[in-house]
């Protein structure tokens, strides 16, 4: 791996791996620990009973050996260590394989909390990176990955039939309805409608045209890559999407130089690389057929549990209103106190926060929960149970505990409609948000309402 471009890309990938593992380490106990919202141990026990010996293939994770809180934490911090080795160029291929295996293990048991497209994207990129330097074909596979990522992102918006995209009005809603906006999103929301529509045109042009230029000669390829970097930078500035934008920008580094495409390799290494490429081309191509033509060839269903080729497409249907769930506790059923969250909107006077590349995964899941009901989100009921129980690792996922002495007797959840304020309101009151009550999300419950506790 002597090319400067490959050298730089792998250093950046190591940084992203370190951020991903480190972010998980800070919250893994509350998410899937033994006293967490979705305990990994109980999840694996259920799978073992249902799948028998096939579980080792169908559910690939090192946590079949042990899924204790210590094991989960150890996997995260070991991942950070191997990511540092990737950055340092020490035992790099071994370290890349270890990072992939550990992150796959965590994603496999992470359930709702590790089901995001950037988790799949990091695994696909991490798998390919293991073979970088064996053959020029692997660099082409990274360009193929960037092609599919961008093309599917644009196609999903138009193929969904959502009128917000077809009428070019999607960005009139997006900045205030996205999961975790940044402060800059408030200012973008204030821009006139014609600017928002023009922005949609530019975005769709980049996502649908630039991917086809990635395979062209350098003079054509570089402007296409620059356009993708420009789009990702704008997304990064207006929304907290963890390491997603950084990883996409990193792929563009592999567009800079043709040297990795011309370097000779050994016959065995080249054969291994071409075998990997053939599998990824087959799976990825079949997925494209499914998206564009509604057919799903068998190769698209090959071993999805390993995330070596995935389908992508964020915000295919635009959310036009923002509902936020407020969780409240009470000792008497009459006086209620709200559990604050560190990152998702709550206090209307608090500015949206910068948090990426860290991903507060509970805050993210709260956004998804607000799109449905508590019956659609069993994890939310488990979350409420842990709050009633006073679970220390779960309480660490939210803001200051409003019940420091003892857990409340009752908890309920209310829904509010949130929207950014305008210039005049912000100037007069200092508020970033305005909110109106919508109704109940979860009626008051106590520990007595839970017949069985999460294990």
Q: What is the pLDDT of residues 51-78, one digit of tens each?
A: 999 999 999 999 999 999 999 999 999 9
- 3-class SS of residue 89: coil
**Span between the terminal Cα atoms of the chain, in Å:** 47
Q: Where is 324: in which H helix or E strand?
A: strand 322-330
The CA distance from 386 to 37, in Å, is: 7
Q: What is the pLDDT of residues 385-424, one digit of tens each?
A: 999 999 999 999 999 999 999 999 999 999 999 999 999 9
How many C-beta atoms surround the C-beta of residue 50 within 10 A?
11
The CA distance from 174 to 319, in Å, is: 7
Phi, psi of 214 (to 5 degrees): -70, -20
Planar angle of CA 99, 103, 107, nearest 5 degrees: 170
Q: What is the pLDDT of residues 143-187, one digit of tens each?
A: 999 999 999 999 999 999 999 999 999 999 999 999 999 999 999
Structure letter (DSSP) for residue 322: E
Confirm whether pTM is higher than 0.85: yes
Average pLDDT of the chain to the nearest whole number: 94
Sorted by where each begins, the domain ranges of the chain are: 1-115, 134-317, 322-449
pLDDT score for 3: 80
CA distances from 253 to 143, 221, 258, 275, 397 (A): 10, 11, 11, 24, 35
Q: What is the pLDDT of residues 249-292, one digit of tens each?
A: 999 999 998 776 666 668 889 899 999 999 999 999 999 988 89
In the predicted model, is pLDDT for residue 93 greater than 50? yes
Q: Looking up tokens 């893994």, which residue turns up?
A: 28
In the predicted model, is pLDDT for residue 84 greater than 70? yes
- Give the mean model confidence (pLDDT) for residues 210-225: 95
pLDDT score for 212: 97
By CB neighbour count within 10 A (0-12 exposed, 13-18 middle, 19+ buried), where does 161 fall? Answer: exposed
Count Cβ neighbours within 10 Å for each residue of 214-239 and write b for 16 or more, e otherwise.
beeeeeebeebbebbbebbebbbebb
């Amino acid at each position: 791996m002597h090319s400067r471009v490959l050298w730089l890309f792998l250093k950046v990938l190591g940084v992203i791996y370190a951020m991903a593992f480190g972010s998980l380490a800070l919250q893994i106990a509350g998410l899937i620990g033994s006293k967490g919202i979705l305990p990994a141990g109980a999840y694996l026990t259920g799978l073992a009973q249902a799948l028998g010996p096939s579980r080792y293939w169908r559910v690939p994770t090192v946590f079949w050996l042990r899924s204790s809180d210590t094991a989960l934490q150890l996997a995260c911090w070991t991942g950070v260590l191997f990511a540092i080795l990737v950055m340092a160029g020490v035992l790099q291929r071994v370290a890349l394989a270890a990072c992939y295996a550990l992150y796959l293990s965590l994603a496999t048991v992470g359930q709702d909390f590790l089901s995001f497209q950037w988790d799949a994207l990091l695994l696909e990129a991490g798998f390919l990176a293991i073979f970088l330097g064996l053959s020029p074909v692997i660099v082409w596979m990274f360009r193929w990955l960037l092609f599919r990522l961008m093309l599917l992102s644009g196609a999903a918006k138009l193929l969904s039939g959502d009128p917000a995209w077809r009428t070019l009005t999607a960005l009139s809603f997006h900045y205030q309805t996205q999961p975790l906006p940044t402060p800059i999103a408030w200012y973008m929301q204030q821009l006139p409608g014609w600017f928002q529509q023009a922005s949609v045109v530019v975005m769709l042009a980049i996502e649908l045209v630039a991917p086809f230029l990635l395979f062209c000669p350098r003079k054509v390829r570089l402007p296409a890559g620059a356009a993708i970097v420009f789009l990702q930078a704008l997304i990064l500035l207006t929304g907290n999407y963890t390491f997603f934008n950084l990883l996409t920008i990193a792929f563009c580094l592999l567009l800079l130089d043709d040297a990795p495409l011309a370097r000779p390799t050994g016959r065995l290494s080249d054969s291994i690389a071409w075998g990997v490429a053939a599998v990824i081309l087959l799976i990825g191509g079949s997925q494209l057929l499914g998206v564009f033509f509604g057919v799903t060839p068998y190769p698209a269903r090959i071993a999805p549990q390993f995330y070596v080729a995935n389908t992508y497409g964020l915000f295919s249907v635009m959310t036009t209103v923002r509902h936020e769930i407020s969780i409240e506790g009470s000792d008497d059923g009459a006086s209620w106190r709200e559990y604050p969250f560190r990152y998702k909107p709550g206090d209307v006077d608090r500015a949206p926060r910068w948090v990426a590349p860290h991903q507060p995964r509970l805050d993210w899941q709260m956004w998804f929960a607000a799109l449905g009901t508590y019956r659609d989100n069993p994890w939310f009921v488990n979350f409420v149970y842990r709050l009633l129980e006073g679970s220390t690792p779960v309480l660490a996922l939210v803001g200051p505990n409003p019940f420091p002495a003892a857990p409340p007797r009752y908890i309920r959840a209310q829904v509010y409609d949130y929207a950014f304020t305008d210039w005049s309101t912000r100037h007069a009151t200092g508020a970033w948000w305005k909110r109106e009550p919508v109704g109940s999300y979860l009626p008051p419950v106590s520990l007595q309402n839970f017949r069985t506790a999460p294990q």
